[in-house]
Amino acid sequence: MNLFSVGTKVFAVLLLFFANFSLTSGQDDSIYLIKSGTRIHLRMDSEISSKVASAGDTFTATAVDPLLVRNSIMLPSGTVFEGRVISVSGASTGGKGGQIELLFETIRLDNGQERKIDGVLVNDLKAESSKTVNMVSILGGTAIGLVFGTITGGDNGSLIGAAVGAGAGTGVALLRKGKNVRIKTGEEFDIELRKDVVLPVRDY
């Protein structure tokens, strides 16, 4: 085996090694890869509310700003995102607020292609329960009953009035309905990707 043949084989091995290294590096840092943890700013196309939504309902939202990776546009503004309602509970008596869990599942690209994604809201859609308001109702009812009882019946009247007032306040609190949550048409919000998304090569 002559030196030329040996040199050719060594060069071929080195070339293969560097080509594989470059390909691997390009894939890990590809501008066509949107990495997990990326946040995207969207605008809701039509209102969704815990008052009327049901699990399984679908909806769309559009990108407000272009998504840039190393100064290259990966997703232009106006890109459509499709989502689905995973679970929902409306507001109920006792001051319990409504809540909705949403999942963003698909990106519709401007070239007609689609990509599956796993995106969630950065801020959960959950209304706080009206515990403070309920307590105020109970305490307020107790105070009013106490005053009324004192006027009408002395010490025993005060105790009876306080009990009646507290009961009335509790009744009001139990009947009080919590607030529903919603994302209004045109409202803007952020989602976060929980998995990497590989996009097709763009022409520009």
Tell me: do 95 and 156 sit in the same domain. no
pLDDT in tens, 124-182: 887 665 455 445 444 454 444 444 445 555 555 555 554 545 454 445 444 566 889 99
Tell me: do 64 and 122 sit in the same domain. yes
> Rounded CA gap, 111 and 106, in Å?
14
Tell me: do 103 and 44 sit in the same domain. yes
Tell me: do 44 and 139 sit in the same domain. no
Tell me: do 170 and 183 sit in the same domain. no
pTM: 0.63
Tell me: do 122 and 55 sit in the same domain. yes
pLDDT in tens, 68-126: 988 889 999 999 999 999 999 988 767 778 989 999 999 999 888 999 999 999 998 87
Tell me: do 140 and 168 sit in the same domain. yes
Q: Contact 101/119 with Cβ under 8 angstroms?
A: no
Q: Which domain holds residue 142?
A: 131-175
